Amino acid sequence: MEVLGLLRTVAIVGYKKRGKTKIVEGLVRELKNRGHQVGTIKHVPEKKFTVDRRGSDTWRHAQAGANPVVCISPGEVAVLRKRRAKLEEILREFSVVDFVVLEGFKGSEIIAKVIVARNESEASELTDDLTIGFIGHGVGKQPVLKLCDFKALANLVEQRATPLVGGLDCGECGFPSCKDFIVAVLKGRAAPDGCRALKGRVSLIVDGRKVPLKSFMQDLVAGVIAGMLSSMKGAEGENIELKVSGHAR
């Protein structure tokens, strides 16, 4: 299933204290050693969790109403955004990496999953149609890897990690939902780059994040822009780029 230039995703899922972070570390190092650019996302279920320290300068900035808050040090840039966001939206912000490795998100319906389980009972409880493998113990026909066999894990991820989808359940890929499309990709019944909402004649980029558009909306935007430009001198051409600065209302 591997497609060059296509950002792919995989989630390492399991119950607490199962070694998920160690596995993510090993997988990231192995993928990096193979020349891939890798990003990660960690799921934190605590509702009041914050990476900022209470009473710190950046915390005080946010309390005053700043959003986002950016902290710059000699070796790090941290951007703190105080808002809710869907996983699909955050994934679309990873524009310069080959793989995004997620820790957690066992309830996701759009990402391939590798399940970390201490026994077959745990594996059975966590497995679903998006499972591509197990670590420790497994059920069914998917491969079961050893805890520290990061080379085998990276091989599996390179071959079966799933692409991004628009999350619109628009059906334009030929499947009734994004989950059905991803399952079809994993079974070899759909092309990994088949999400039409993320490709086509019109691309909408908002603050560096690609926004999925249904085909009718792409056609509408393209038609409106083409109509406006048809009466303008010097605006003839096949490929049109239009940049709008400011807030969209």
pLDDT at 143 over 80: yes
Residue 219 lies in a domain: no
- The answer to whether residue 247 sits within a structural domain is no
Task: Report whether 173 contacts 194 (CB < 8 A).
Answer: yes
* Structural domain boundaries, residue 27: 8-50+84-164
The reported pTM is 0.78
Q: What is the mean pLDDT of the segment spanning 159-185?
A: 90
Residues 182 and 194: beta-carbon distance below 8 Å? no
CATH, residue 26: 3.40.50.300
How far apart are alpha carbons 145 and 143 in whole angstroms? 6
Percent of the chain beyond pLDDT 90?
47
Domain count, the chain: 1
Composition of the chain by helix, strand, coil, percent to 5: 30, 20, 50
pLDDT in tens, 218-237: 667 666 776 776 677 666 66
Q: Does any domain span residue 119?
A: yes
Does residue 147 sit within a domain? yes
**Residue at 72 is within a domain:** no
Does some domain include residue 198?
no
